[in-house]
């Protein structure tokens, strides 16, 4: 297998260190430094393996144009991880602990960071390890909180290429009360509809529009844009509050676009494709242009099917910010040694 992050599948390579804190009797303990990357040994009756007591985060460290390293929106990702841990009913760690686990893991794996457009993808994870297969109705009280680092190239093989999106109006991605939780169970629930859409429509992603209310794909938020306006779904508890989404909303305002956060029907997506642009946003995907929308049984080309000028403008502005080629007016970059 290749160890080149630009040809290896996204997320399949790892640094050689990790940070691990243990949860025992409601208390987290962390030795205070990274350890060698190694397998865990776990009881086959561990809570996570039966009752899905797991959640995670995804953020990135980028090599800056001056050679330093910086993590993008560290504290926002820490806050979202805290919320996810709370929602799986596990004792919530001090946010400062999650922050230290991330910083120490990135520092220890810094030499694995590829040059842009590559980055070091960071994966904070919690798993419940209580060995009790009778504990379906009680939360895990033992667990591991750990941070892996993975050198990555492009999320979508082929770099910036227009994606095909299938709009799913019947099957939901997950349950509404778990929409904001970055829990593994959500992703496995979205897998069936995603594989169906790949097979039947050549789709790269499914955009979930349950009950004609378009929210997000299996791994990203979505935007409509034209020369004047940027539109995305208003926040509520039914979908993940993307940190890239928030960055795009803020940056679009800075760039002079009018920003609308409101409901978007599947019909509006099809209509918008006739005159505007569509793109997806996420830490892994960054900004991914959509070239074709399959909606209501029809395949609709977005513009001329190629990445639009506004999508590329927003993507370039975000990329410049990620890699330190633009000022950081909102304080989104956290420097890390290495």
Ligand X SMILES: Cc1ncc(COP(=O)(O)O)c(C=O)c1O
Report CA Rg, the chain.
Answer: 20
- Minimum separation from the CB atom of position 275 to ligand X (A): 26
| 154 makes contact with ligand X (CB under 6 A) | no
| 63 makes contact with ligand X (CB under 6 A) | no
Give the x-and-dash track for 169-208 against ligand X (CB under 6 A). ----------------------------------------
| 39 token code pair | 């397998």
Give the x-and-dash track for 227-256 against ligand X (CB under 6 A). -------------x-xxxx-----------
- The DSSP line for 65-134 is TTS-EEEESHHHHHHHHHHHHHHTT-PPPPHHHHHHHHHHHHHHHGGGPPPTT-EEEEEEEEEE--B-TT
Comparing CB distances to ligand X, the nearer of 17 and 123 is 123
Pairing relationship of beta strands 163-168 and 205-208 according to DSSP bridges? parallel
Comparing CB distances to ligand X, the nearer of 47 and 60 is 60
Largest interatomic CA distance in the chain:
58
Residues 6 or more apart whose Cβ sits within 8 Å of residue 229 = 257, 258, 259, 260
Comparing CB distances to ligand X, the nearer of 19 and 281 is 281
| Peptide bond before residue 77 is cis, with ω within 30 degrees of 0 | no
Give the x-and-dash track for 269-288 against ligand X (CB under 6 A). ------------xxx-----
- Minimum separation from the CB atom of position 135 to ligand X (A): 27
User: How many other C-beta atoms are found inside a 10 Å radius of the C-beta of residue 164?
Assistant: 20
- Minimum separation from the CB atom of position 270 to ligand X (A): 22
**Which of 106, 149, 167, 219 contacts ligand X by CB under 6 A?**
219
| 21 makes contact with ligand X (CB under 6 A) | no
Say if residue 162 is exposed, middle or buried (CB neighbours under 10 Å; 0-12, 13-18, 19+).
buried
| 55 makes contact with ligand X (CB under 6 A) | no
- Minimum separation from the CB atom of position 229 to ligand X (A): 21
- Minimum separation from the CB atom of position 294 to ligand X (A): 19
Which residues pair with residue 127 across a beta bridge? 54, 144
| 220 makes contact with ligand X (CB under 6 A) | yes
Comparing CB distances to ligand X, the nearer of 11 and 91 is 11
| 58 makes contact with ligand X (CB under 6 A) | yes
| 152 makes contact with ligand X (CB under 6 A) | no
- Minimum separation from the CB atom of position 133 to ligand X (A): 29
Which H/E stretch holds residue 329? none
Nearest to 285, CA basis, from 234, 330, 220: 220
| 143 token code pair | 């667990």
| 184 token code pair | 């593994």
| 148 makes contact with ligand X (CB under 6 A) | no
Comparing CB distances to ligand X, the nearer of 164 and 281 is 281
- Minimum separation from the CB atom of position 73 to ligand X (A): 8
- Minimum separation from the CB atom of position 134 to ligand X (A): 31
The conformational region for residue 305 under phi > 0 = left, psi -120 to 50 = alpha, else beta, is left
DSSP 46: B
Residues that bind ligand X (CB under 6 A): 58, 216, 218-221, 240, 242-245, 281-283
């Amino acid at each position: 297998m290749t160890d080149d992050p630009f040809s290896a599948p996204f997320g399949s390579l790892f640094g050689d260190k990790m940070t691990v804190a243990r949860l025992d009797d409601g208390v987290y303990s962390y030795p205070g430094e990274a350890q060698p990357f190694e397998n865990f040994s776990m009881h086959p009756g561990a809570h996570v393996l039966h009752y899905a007591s797991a959640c995670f985060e995804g953020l990135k460290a980028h090599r800056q144009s001056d050679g330093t390293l910086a993590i993008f929106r560290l504290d926002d990702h820490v806050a979202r991880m805290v919320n996810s841990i709370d929602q799986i009913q596990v004792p919530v760690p001090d946010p400062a602990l999650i922050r230290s686990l991330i910083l120490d893991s990135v520092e220890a794996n810094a030499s694995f960071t590829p040059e842009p457009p590559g980055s070091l993808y960071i994966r904070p994870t919690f798993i419940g390890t209580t060995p009790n297969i009778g504990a379906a109705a009680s939360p895990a009280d033992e667990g591991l909180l750990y941070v892996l680092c993975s050198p990555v190239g492009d999320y979508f093989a082929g770099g910036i290429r227009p994606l095909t999106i299938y709009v799913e109006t019947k099957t939901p991605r997950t349950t509404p009360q778990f929409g904001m939780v970055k829990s593994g169970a959500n992703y496995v629930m979205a897998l069936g509809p995603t594989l169906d859409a790949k097979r039947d429509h050549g789709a790269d992603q499914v955009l979930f529009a349950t009950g004609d209310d378009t929210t997000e794909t299996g791994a990203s938020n979505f935007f409509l844009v034209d020369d004047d306006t940027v539109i995305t779904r208003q926040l509520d508890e039914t979908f993940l509050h993307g940190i890239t989404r928030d960055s795009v909303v803020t940056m679009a305002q800075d760039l002079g676009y009018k920003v609308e956060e409101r409901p978007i029907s599947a019909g509006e997506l099809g209509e918008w494709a006739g005159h505007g642009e569509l793109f997806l946003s996420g830490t892994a995907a960054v900004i991914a242009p959509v070239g074709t929308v399959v909606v209501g049984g029809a395949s609709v080309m977005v513009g001329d099917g190629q990445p639009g000028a506004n999508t590329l403008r927003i993507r370039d502005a975000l990329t410049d910010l990620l890699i330190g080629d633009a000022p950081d007016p909102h304080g989104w970059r956290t420097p890390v040694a290495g």
